[in-house]
Structure 1
Amino acid sequence: MSLFGRDSELKDLAALLYGPHDRGGALIVGEAGIGKSALAEETVAAAAVAGVRVLRTAGTEAEQHFGYAGLHRLLHPLRGAFDTLPQRQYDALTAAFGLSDTTGEPSVYLVALATLTLLVDAGAERPLLVVAEDVQWLDSATVEVIAFLSRRIDTEPVVVIATLRDGGTSALDDTGLTPIRLEGLSDEHARTLLNVTAPGLPPPIRDRLLTEAAGNPLALTELASAAADLEELPAATPLTERLRRTFTARGLGLPDPTRSALLVAALNDTDSIAEMLAATAVVAGSAPSERELLAPAIDAGMVTAEAGGVTFRHPLMRSAIISSATDEQRGRVHSALAEILGHAPDRRIWHRAASVPGPDEQVAIELDGVAERATHPGAAVAARHRAAELSADAGRRVDRLLEAAEAAVRAGRRDTAEQLVRTARTLSPTPRQQATAHWLLSGFEDGLREDLSRIGELAALASSVAAEGYTDAAMRILWGAAMRCFWSEAGADIRRGLLAVADDLPVPDDDPRLVAVAAYVAPVERGARVLGNLRGLAAETGRDPEVDRFLGSAALQVGAFDLAARFAAAAAPGLRDTGQLGALPRALTVLAWSSARLGDLATAAPVAAEAEALARETGQPFMHGLAVAVLAEIAALHGDYARSAALASDAERIGLAAGARPVLATVALTRGLAALGEGRFDDAFAELRRMHDPADPAYTPALRSYFLAELTEAAVRGGQSEAARELLAELEPTTRTTPSPALHIGFRYARALLATEDTEDLFTAALAADLTGWPAERARLQLAYGEWLRRQRRVVESRARLRAARQTFDALGFAAWSERSRLELRGAGESSPDRSADAGERLTPHELSIARLAAQGLTNREIGQRLFLSHRTVSTHLHRIFPKLGVSSRTDLAAALPVPPGTPRLPRAGEDGR
């Protein structure tokens, strides 16, 4: 039967199959019975005509707690290609499917990258259509993988079509899939459909059915067969409930053995007819044939049976069978399924857990084992939660609830984690359990939007937890409080309280966690100690990416941007290799922010672009905002003021919504830089001074002292030198407290620029300082010194300084500063060659990232593995990059994009030959 009233939707889906690959696919949304599955089936039929290969999966309520169950079904036809995957991807995928002895949870992002590789390679041979139905019931791991795919297939011969029940939310909502919302059929199409399915209905019944079906195709076809029941239901009964009652009545009319078999099929987590027959024999005490059991249900239009599987014609039919059974009947079926599933221990345990009516510690212990073996934290959440429900002991119940909450945190499911923690707190938890409950939620948004008194409460809690002997839990709580001091302004009293707790912990001073806490809480007061520890720990980079990430953040707080970039760069490869896409954007943002401050825009631009994309994908709004702000800063330094303004507005909107002061401080810096470049010196000073005003949301104690060079320059050029002197006098004591490199570099520059005497000595001293790794600051000093020399009529002497500044700014891509250097040189009687855009400036940040990796000799596959892209996408980007750079081969890229001196050559992907 053709679809009625869906021509527009079918046209859109056909365009995905036949058109250019510039859209990832479609997300079909609508209420139960509205025709989502029918539309998907029509698309599958069209794919067959077009020669497109189809891979399918579907969610079922019974499978939601089995990690990667839906993905296993989707990729089963491609299992022969698993051996072609790179080693890490192969290991992750086989671990996810339980095909290897690997223990622990594989990274969902490595599993997703393996899936992308398989699909793209298969699509190169024959285009692919991926169909995922009933996404609301797919396990969370599979949904995450499909979301990952959907964001990365725009240029691939792969189309994703997913169906989602109306009212549900999904990780697919923001993936770029074209939304297709199905509404009820028009009156004309509804009447046409009813004429086909029930031509003999009496007019009164027909009119009422048309009214109450409201254009729902399932209601029009299924209620018509039970039209007499319309008289028995009140008009207010929801349509879904009417359908469920219709299906229930249809099931009650079947023979008892068939009803038993249908209940087994409905409660089983596979569609296996063999399992259905075996479990039905246990329940019934006899073994009817397949035909005897299923023929009545097939004739009644309840199920279909083919290829060894039994499928309900609609999910509402499955739920009707389940809801019409008693608790005792459902328990017997689950017990029977557990009895026949000796070959599948985890499935057996889940059915055992569903069969017991009350607490059962033995089953709870077995569920603990399921959680420990889970290949995705979402599956562990379900197992721990059910184990908690079955716990006979209140203490064990709390432990299991908190273990479930910890798994929910790993899965990024904040609402679930909060609900589990709330439940645990109602059960009189011990001090240890209270401590665990507190630190569990600290990873979400680092306390943004919380009352600042919460930071003091966390300090007191950390102290009490430490007194109980739980040092690790105390440190976790303290870390959560310290992070809040970065994103918001807690005040001096709270900061002192946190430091007191940290000082009392029985932890060595150079413990990376303690170093990071001190840096976040007291970047000035503890700056010397933090810097000493950081320099001592710098020799150990590369051992633990999570430690390197903490230390990179700590170094940024104390103004050691060179160390921050070093630690963050060391952290990124390990986080990539293990697929930690939650932590990776944090390390990348620190690397981008620090690199931009150091003047290394060639590194900062692609890193910031990747950080922005990953932070958005992994739901980290404050890191997303900070990465966007860094991109805005880079655009301002390049002289692209229109793009900088747009990005700054985006970052400001995110920062204001989240209350994230560092984001707003970076926005203020960006606008100050743009104003300086455009000669709007009053605007520049006003923006940069915001960071020093405690009443301004951009006020940031940890960062405000690190932009003194820009602020002083704006003040001097805007005629507000005295205001700058007052500000420097206020900050002077900090220079005696901390050896922060950024602070002292900025202070030396500011003193020289504001000096009324001994100016030359101050410039000479500033340039004599160790500026290794700080080329932008050296060039800024050289430009200012050259300008001063020219004003002193020492024109010949000024040229060398101005020329050196111009060359550095040209190399760094600082367009406005390059132009200033040229103007000054022209005034000093020396012409400059025209500055052509650097090769990197002709590319988008994303393209630059790919081009630089290719220039270092990495293959397309290795680049894809590093950036979580398909190798075909990398190839497409390179074909766009070559003309932009005027090159014709990968070999030419190395000359067009030379690796800056001192940059370590990136290792190959190290995939051991797979």
Structure 2
Amino acid sequence: MSTRAPEKEYRTMPMFGRDAELKDLGALVDGPGDRSGILIEGEPGIGKSALVEAAIAAAAVAGLRVLRTAGVEAEQSLPYAGLHRLLYPLRRGFDALPTRQFDALAMALGVSDTTAEPSPYLVGLAALTLLADEAADRPLLIVAEDVHWLDSASAEVLAFLARRIDTEPIAVIGTLRDGMATPLCDAGLTDMPLGPISDDDATALLDSLAPELPEPIRLRVLAEAQGNPLALNELPTAVADLTEFPLALPLTARLERAFAARGAALPASSRSALLVAALNDGDSITETLSATGVLLGSTVGPEILTPAVEANLIDIASSTVSFRHSLIRSALAATATADERRRAHLALAEILGELPDRRVRHRAAGSVGPDEQVAAELEAIAERARHRGGAVVALERAAALSDSPGRRADRLLRAAELAVDSGRRDTAERLVDTARTLPLTPGQQATANWLLSGFDDGVRESPSRIAELAGLAVSVAADGYPDAAMRILWGAAMRCFWSEPGPDTRRALLAVADALPIPDGDPRMVAVNAYVAPFERGDRVMGHLRALASTTGRDPEVDRFLGSAALQVGAFDLAAHFSAAAAPGLRAAGRLGLLPRALTVQAWSLTRLGDLATAAPVAAEAAALARETGQPFMQGLATAVQAEIAALHGDYSRAVELTAEADRVGLASGARPVLATVQLTRGLIALGEGRFDDACTDLSRIHDPRDPSHAPALRAYFLAEHAEAAVRAGQTDALRELLRDLESAAAAAPAPALQIGMRYARAVLAADAAEEHFETALAADLIGWPAERARLHLAYGEWLRRQRRVVESRTHLRTARETFDALGFTAWSERARLELRSAGESSPNRSPDAREQLTPHELSIAQLAAQGLTNREIGQRLYLSHRTVSTHLHRIFPKLGISSRGDLAALLPTEDEAPRSTVIAYVIRRSWRHRRVA
């Protein structure tokens, strides 16, 4: 692959009217401060590359090393072409990378024989490690021009880098055409919109470039250029042709015509060579000359390009051809006839025999009408592609060349499936729509119908869609496609989590599931039953989950949806177990699309269990990764969990802020679990502030089928909070009615969260029999549920004190205080202290735990360091550079009053693979320490 420098503006021009932009770029080069880079956006010729060259000159003065790449339209289908160009100068450092990172980068850049597709995120981590190591010796400036034309794989990696270099001596400058999209738009770079220069600056620039222009022509050029520096530079030389241009013609088209007119003045043989160079997806002068020779039927030498060099259209280095501006390349391609382009592509195909993938692409571009042989070769390219973006392009072109509607549909749907995996909604929808214009088999129709549900789990679709999918699954199963039917059924079941289709639809889904020839213990079937009927099938689901929890070696994606299934049936300890088991495998494989889903379920469950210290960094990472991977509904749920954690910590202002953010996401998408968690958090805030009527109102909304926060499964798992609010607000009648409504579900389902909540509610509602109910509730197995056990001790102690059994109350209140202190439940520990004070016992002041002094991100790093992981190992876990990890640790040590990582283990309990044991060990340690102090 080539290593040419990016294409530059047509001619070096004086800089007019860009003082503010030059100042900002100079400041970035001197030290990025609170920003990682700048994205310069503007129309072609507006001066983006001129500013880049000025920044590069400033970087040279400041001692920075500059690494450059550029998007090339002809290379958009070549995965990692842009990244190869950027990192090729650092190739000697590849061997120092950790093994997995080296393998991913080597596969991506084609320096490995392995054909497996590397995860873009592992490639990004490898690039980050490589660049961070290089920057440690000398600061770096990364320049990426024309990022709208970068291949999608390189663009994703550059966006990944831009999000993670805030603590590194690395700055990024990118250039982007107006109105075009790139992942770098959402990577945290500072926008620098570049508009036309002022009339005075345009006049000064034109006078400096063409001082001898006659006044009428000068005025015409100024009017036509509209403040575009490239137009002011180029149009004077093409002024004779301007009179033929319609005044309404866009400026870009005028410039292209000006360049095309210059190309048209060249000898015919030079024009042929230029067209070959413009259509080539490489920059080798040897390739251009060889293909031109095939096209002309005779051997040609470099002199054939001399007229184009003299006309300032191209530059020739020792072995490469590069265009002076990207508009020149597009102008030459656009003004050639279809036959001329076809013949040039076929000439290139003929000389690329040693490069089969490129040869096939050019053969495909030169084909007219169906060509099944070329289509099959393109399909093979897609199978070998190291990035899904390149595979999508190859499959779509293969579909166009297919010799039958069936093969065309297969290829379109396969391309759409890869587009879904890549998160490219527009592309997937377009491909599916195209496929639906063809006669489809039942299997193809099924694929077309469920494919797009991969986006957002159908969150934004009408609930009626769930019934449609149920019918489709029946039809597909009847046609002999049980696995396809299972995938459709799974998509329908997922929708039952995010929305509420009603009991009839849920029963229809269960009937479909029962009829499929798939074992009841299949993890997919377990998850479907949990999502569709968490109470009706809860007993069956729990049995399978307990059996599966004792086995290992599953695909981490299976563990991920088993975790989700466990959450549905109120087994939060199992949900945390399965999700924690899934996360390492998803990390190692770089499956960052699935990782935030597993982390969100883990954080949600751990928070309900009371392990806030473990849940906080997990929720923060889940929210960040969901945002990065474009999963707004999952980001909303993770943010709602963060809000709940803040409320339990007693940080109500932060909880309100996060709740509002999650509420916006949940309302926009109609995601009921997000809104239910939001209402739970509002209830917690109101409880902590003593607004019991408000708390009861907030929590009651979750049970109202007409309310958007109504979540049929989750509503049953917040009973302890609801019962407390109702009793304190004097709304016990409404609480009793709610319990009667849930009795049948509680009798049928062993859901731990529901059973715990029911026992708590019965105890606080009881009068004369309260003691019996409290003792029954505390006798239950609450080993993995310390927060719920502490809540029972607090309520029991309060009841005993009101019965004037003060001595007995102190034991329960003290236990509650110690547990809530250990868990960081600030509001609840203060309540226990007040009750103890009223019972005649003082309490030691609560000292914030070490983990509460750190941000969630810092806590993630500190916990891993406490386990003995090196900075590199921590970086690989969290997708950071090891130098960023070191920077964070140096900030963490002063916060904790320590001087080395060796002290971390004493302050921070290590995170166990099983969250239950982590919580228990943590509580026991804290409780024992408090007893010794007392």
Query: What range is the shorter-chain TM-score in?
Result: over 0.9
Counterpart AA for 1:250: R
Indicate whether 1:128 and 2:160 are aligned.
no
Q: Which residue of 1 aligns with 2:86?
A: 74
* Pairing partner for 1:104 from 116, 120, 125: 116
Residues 279-358 of structure 1 mapped to structure 2, 5 A cutoff: 279-290=291-302, 292-358=303-369
After superposition, where does 1:214-253 map in structure 2 within 5 Å? Answer: 214-253=226-265
Q: Does 1:772 align with 2:774?
A: no
Secondary structure at 2:243 match in 1: helix
- Within a 5 Å distance, the mapping from 1:366-405 to structure 2 comes to 366-405=377-416
Contact kept in structure 2, 1:639 and 1:677, CA below 8 Å: yes
Structure 1 SS opposite 2:354 = coil
Partner amino acid for 1:227?
V
Displacement of 1:236: 1.2
- Does structure 1 residue 449 correspond to structure 2 residue 460? yes
Equivalent residue number for residue 911 of structure 1? none
Distance 1:419 1:282 in 2: 37
Deviations 1:500-530 (A, max 9, x none): 0011000000111111111111111111111
Secondary structure of the residue that 2:253 maps to in structure 1? helix
Structure 1 residues 901, 406: CA separation in 2 closer, same or farther (over 3 Å shift)?
A: closer
Answer whether contact 1:541 1:567 (CA < 8 A) is retained: no
Match of 2:610 in 1: 599
Which amino acid in structure 2 is aligned with residue 831 of structure 1? Answer: S
> Is contact 1:542-1:571 (8 Å) kept?
no
Q: Structure 1: which amino acid aligns with 2:93?
A: A
Q: Where does 1:687-726 land on structure 2 (aligned, <5 Å)?
A: 687-726=698-737
Q: Structure 1 CA distance, aligned partners of 2:539 and 2:310? A: 81
Q: Find the residue that maps to 2:593 and give its secondary structure.
A: coil
For the residues of structure 1 that align with 2:483 and 2:448, how far apart are their CA atoms?
13
Structure 1 residue 900, shift from structure 2 partner: 6.4
Q: Deviations over 1:647-694 (max 9, x none)?
A: 000000110001001000000000111111111111111101111111
| Cα drift, residue 496 of structure 1 | 0.6
Please point out which of 196, 201, 206 is paired with 1:194.
206
Post-superposition offset of 1:901? 7.5
State the match for 1:547 in structure 2. 558
**Alpha-carbon distance in 1 for matches of 2:530, 2:15:** 64
Given that 2:614 and 2:911 are in contact with CA atoms closer than 8 Å, whether structure 1 keeps it comes out as no
Offset at residue 288 of structure 1 (A): 2.8
Contact 1:21-1:156 within 8 A present in 2 as well: no
Corresponding residue of 1:573: 584
2:633 matched residue in structure 1: 622
Query: What is the SS of the residue equivalent to 1:432?
Result: helix
- List 4+ stretches of structure 1 deviating above 4 A: 900-906
Which of 674, 680, 691 is matched with 1:680 structurally?
691
Q: CA deviation at 1:543?
A: 2.3
C-alpha distance in structure 1 between counterparts of 2:181 and 2:115, whole Å:
31
Give the aligned partner of residue 46 of structure 1. 58
Greater mean deviation of Cα atoms: 876-885 or 811-820: 876-885
Aligned-partner residue type, residue 320 of structure 2: G
Checking the alignment, whether the CA contact within 8 Å between 1:21 and 1:155 is kept in structure 2 is no
Distance 1:46 1:827 in 2: 70
How many Å apart are 1:328 and its aligned residue?
1.7
Shift of 1:20: 4.7
Pairwise CA distance, 1:902: 7.8
Paired with 1:44 and 1:350, the residues of 2 have a C-alpha distance of 35
What is aligned with 1:417?
A: 428
Q: Do residues 477 (structure 1) and 483 (structure 2) align?
A: no
Q: Distance in 2 between matches of 1:387 and 1:305?
A: 35
Q: 2: distance between equivalents of 1:59 and 1:570?
A: 40
Aligned equivalent of 1:589, options 597, 600, 605 = 600
Query: Equivalents in 2 of 1:20, 1:449: separation in Å?
Result: 40
3-state SS, counterpart of residue 173 of structure 1: helix
Task: Please report how far the alpha carbon of residue 903 of structure 1 lies from its aligned counterpart in structure 2 after TM superposition.
Answer: 5.0
Alignment partners' CA distance in 1, 2:575 and 2:553: 14
SS of the residue 1:159 aligns to: strand
Task: Measure, in 2, the Cα distance between the counterparts of 1:406 and 1:382.
Answer: 12
Flag structure 2 segments of 5+ consecutive residues without an equivalent.
1-12, 919-934
Distance 1:779 1:307 in 2: 76
Separation in 1, partners of 2:912, 2:135 = 41
C-alpha deviations, 1:858-914, integer Å up to 9, x for none? 1111111000011111111111111111111101111111236885899xxxxxxxx
Displacement after TM superposition at 1:332 (Å) = 1.6
SS at match of 2:176: strand
What is the CA–CA distance in structure 1 between the aligned matches of 2:27 and 2:361, rounded to whole Å? 43
1:104 Cα shift? 2.6
The answer to whether 1:750 aligns with 2:769 is no
The correspondence for 2:149, drawn from 119, 122, 137, is 137
Conserved? CA contact 2:116–2:386, under 8 Å: yes
Q: Mean alpha-carbon deviation: is it higher for 393-402 or for 434-443?
A: 434-443
Tell me the secondary structure at the aligned position of residue 172 of structure 1.
helix
Can you list the C-alpha shifts for 1:203-234, whole angstroms capped at 9, x where unaligned? 11111211121100111110111112222222
TM-fit CA distance, 1:643 = 0.2
- Equivalent residue, structure 2, for 1:656: 667
* Counterpart selection for 1:62 from 57, 66, 74: 74
Query: TM-score, normalized by length of structure 1?
Result: 0.98
**Pick from 55, 73, 88: which aligns with 2:100?**
88
Determine whether 1:805 maps to 2:816.
yes
Is contact 1:22-1:155 (8 Å) kept? no
- How big is each residue's C-alpha offset from its partner over 1:753-797, in whole Å with a ceiling of 9 and x where there is no partner? 000221111100100000011000000001111111111111111
SS at match of 2:185: coil
- 1:260 matched to which residue of 2? 272
Unaligned segments of structure 1, at least 5 residues: 907-914
Cα distance in structure 1, aligned partners of 2:14 and 2:96: 41
Structure 1 residue 542: deviation in Å?
A: 4.4
Of the three residues 20, 27, 33, the one matched with 2:39 is 27
Partner residue of 1:458 out of 461, 466, 469 = 469
Q: Structure 2 counterpart of 1:329, which letter?
A: E
Q: C-alpha distance in 2, partners of 1:815/1:67?
A: 51
2:176 to 153, 164, 167: 164
1:307 Cα offset (Å): 3.7
Output the amino acid matched with 2:764: L
User: What letter is aligned with 1:714?
Assistant: A
Instruction: State how far apart, in whole Å, the 1-side matches of 2:316 and 2:36 are.
Output: 33
Tell me, in whole angstroms, the C-alpha distance in 1 between the residues paired with 2:913 and 2:512. 41
- Number of aligned positions between the proteins: 905
How far apart, CA to CA, are the structure 2 residues paired with 1:535 and 1:2? 73
Counterpart Cα distance in 1 of 2:115 and 2:147: 28
SS in structure 2 of the partner of residue 540 of structure 1:
coil
Distance 1:323 1:820 in 2: 75
Deviations 1:181-214 (A, max 9, x none): 1100111111111112111111111112111211
1:324-349 CA-partner distances (Å, limit 9, x unpaired): 22222211211111111122111111
What corresponds to 1:909 in structure 2?
none
Q: What is the CA distance between 1:45 and its match in structure 2?
A: 1.6
Which residue is 1:637 aligned to? 648
What SS is found at the alignment partner of 1:353?
helix
Deviations 1:684-712 (A, max 9, x none): 11101111111111111010000000000
Structure 1 counterpart of 2:929: none
Q: CA RMSD in A?
A: 1.2
Structure 1 stretch displaced more, 277-286 or 741-750? 277-286
| Aligned-pair identity (%) | 70
Query: How many angstroms apart in 2 are the aligned matches of 1:233 and 1:66?
Result: 36
Is the 1:542–1:570 contact (alpha carbons within 8 Å) kept by the matching residues of 2? Answer: no
> Partner residue of 1:912?
none
Verify the 8 A CA contact 1:439 1:473 in the aligned structure 2: no
Task: Give the TM-score, by structure 2 length.
Answer: 0.96
